[in-house]
Structure 1
Amino acid sequence: MNNQEHQTPHICFYGAGSMAEAIVRGLINRAVAEPQQIAMFNRSNAERLDYLAQTYNVQVGHSAEQKQSMLQRSPILVLAMKPKDAAEALKALGPILHEDQLVVSVIAGLSIPTMQALLGRKQPIARTMPNTSSSIGLGATGIAFSKEVHTDLQQKALSIFEAVGLVTIIAEEKMDILTGISGSGPAYIYYMMEAMITAGVEGGLMAEQARELTVQTVLGAAQMMLQTEEDPANLRKAITSPNGSTQAAIEVFAAAGFTETVKAAVRRCEERSKEMGAAIQESLS
């Protein structure tokens, strides 16, 4: 461990992958936590831990004793391991936790009741679904709380994800539809951007020109919605002149069932999220 070995961490990340790193970067950049207040460890990737320690100056745990000490001393534990590793980790965690430690899960598909059952105790739990834009501080995160999470702990959990973007509190049963909107949503936008760039190149633009124009167009549209607080339908209508070129493009989308296709995609994503969650629950039971 680094030279901050004896400092009690305020938050411990059990799992040290890309999402954990994104959150740590946000916590430090937004001054929500000092580097020495953050601890991280994983199952066995010492090289990854060394990179995180050198890059962010956080505490890292290599030995079993260091890891257990971090888990027992940290008021907040962020579970960021793979779903397949969750059951073993949670069963081992249960006996060493104290009742007011907050467990924050970024594990997809793992419900609060299942986590509490694996822990063997009614631990305060925050279940979250961040998206990949968290890695640049522009994430959208849904968060659901167990009834054991009091107001102070809720605020602590919210501050973690506010450091990497927007956070909204939802009922746990809405986590799958949130996955369909914001969890997987960036992929839908990238998919459309791919098509726009391809169309630009096929129309004679240089690839870099098509990319830059597409990226700026999407960025500008998002900022317009944020700054004007207008309904997207109104913004669309404002630039869609009757019988104009934009109208012609919109008619092509409409003829192809654009709105219904997007809604169907979101619903299928929600459905698949439920299927995956059920499979995880079954495998852990």
Structure 2
Amino acid sequence: MQTNPTLAASTLCFYGAGSMAEAIVRGLLHKQVAGAGQIVMLNRSNRERLDYLTRTYQVQTAIKEDAKQVYLRDASIIVLAMKPKDAGEALAGLGPLLREGQLIVSLIAGLSIATIQALLGTKAAVARTMPNTSSSIGYGATGISFSPEATETQRAQVLSMFEAVGMVSVIPEEQMEILTGVSGSGPAYVYYLMEAMIEAGIEGGLTAEQARELTVQTVLGAALMMAETGEAPTKLRADITSPNGSTQAAIGVLEAGSFQPNVRAAVHRAAERSKEMGEAVKQALL
């Protein structure tokens, strides 16, 4: 298998083996960005989980502490994929193992680059990322911020990793919270809308299956229409909103309920809450 040239000589060690780590590994292998022999996955105590990952993806795994330390020392890229509550102990132990030139990629929500470096006890090269759940099917949206220590090669490696599970946006770290409000939490807003559409369809006499299928296809088609035409949503909405028609009547109901102001407020509240949670994580760990 041909691996991506930016990662061809690298080894990737996932420190944590949960669903997001698995999604990224699946994308790396599917897009041939890296080979199974380049990837190691570690966790604290779940041997059954590691056995599943080995069987499914043919990656290397380890659960014993001495083996984990060897893999962490040798890895070109270490992906932090543990739960936030486990990060303090894990990073304190990881710091002394690091060598020059290694890259730390964090999937941990709310954990800033400065906090990661403080816990490691060294100014390591760090990429802080915020993927969303759609990464698990290859349609994710990931925000990425880099520490000044990250080289151009390391930046390219991180972009290759996350482009394997969707699109990426490189942003200043101070914008990570608003990105969380838009794309990190964003799928939940769409699902919430879809719940209401399905319920209304059933109330009007459609079967549950019909209401679900029509809603899914409608949302998928609208997203693809916007992506493929490049048109603004305002224009696309206007194109199907005839004066005094059924769509206009529906939009009128949404406007009366302050639909758009409420969505904007929801995005900003998610961003605020992300910042609050990040501060709580920092206080708990430092």
Specify the TM-score bucket, using the shorter chain as the normaliser: over 0.9
CA contact (8 A) 1:79 1:104 kept: yes
> Aligned residue for 1:147?
148
How do residues 64-83 of structure 1 correspond to structure 2 at under 5 angstroms?
Answer: 64-83=65-84
Cα distance between partner residues in 1 of 2:208 and 2:260 = 28
> Aligned residue for 2:233?
232
How do residues 141-180 of structure 1 correspond to structure 2 at under 5 angstroms?
Answer: 141-180=142-181
Question: Per-residue CA shift, 1:224-254, capped at 9, x if unaligned?
Answer: 0010000000000000000100000000001
1:63 matched to 2:64? The reply is yes
Question: Per-residue CA shift, 1:138-175, capped at 9, x if unaligned?
Answer: 00000000000011100001111000000000010111
| TM-score normalised over the length of structure 2 | 0.96
SS in structure 2 opposite 1:197? Answer: helix
1:181 matched to 2:173? The reply is no
> Aligned residue for 1:97?
98
How do residues 1-285 of structure 1 correspond to structure 2 at under 5 angstroms?
Answer: 10-285=11-286
Deviation of residue 36 (structure 1)? 1.2
CA contact (8 A) 1:144 1:170 kept: yes
| TM-score normalised over the length of structure 1 | 0.97
Cα distance between partner residues in 2 of 1:38 and 1:274 = 32
Cα distance between partner residues in 2 of 1:41 and 1:116 = 21
Question: Per-residue CA shift, 1:79-135, capped at 9, x if unaligned?
Answer: 000000001111111111012100000000100001101111100000000000000
Query: Could you tell me which amino acid in structure 1 is paired with residue 25 of structure 2?
Result: V
Query: Could you tell me which amino acid in structure 2 is paired with residue 187 of structure 1?
Result: A
Q: Is there any run of 5+ residues in structure 2 with no aligned partner, and where? A: 1-8
User: RMSD between aligned alpha carbons?
Assistant: 0.8
Deviation of residue 62 (structure 1)? 2.1
Q: Is there any run of 5+ residues in structure 1 with no aligned partner, and where? A: 1-7
Cα distance between partner residues in 1 of 2:283 and 2:97 = 25
Count of aligned pairs between the two proteins: 278
> Aligned residue for 1:4?
none
Cα distance between partner residues in 1 of 2:71 and 2:92 = 17
SS in structure 2 opposite 1:31? Answer: coil
Distance 1:277 1:239, change over 3 A: same
Query: Could you tell me which amino acid in structure 2 is paired with residue 168 of structure 1?
Result: S
After superposing on structure 2, the runs of 4+ consecutive aligned residues of structure 1 that deviate more than 3 Å are none
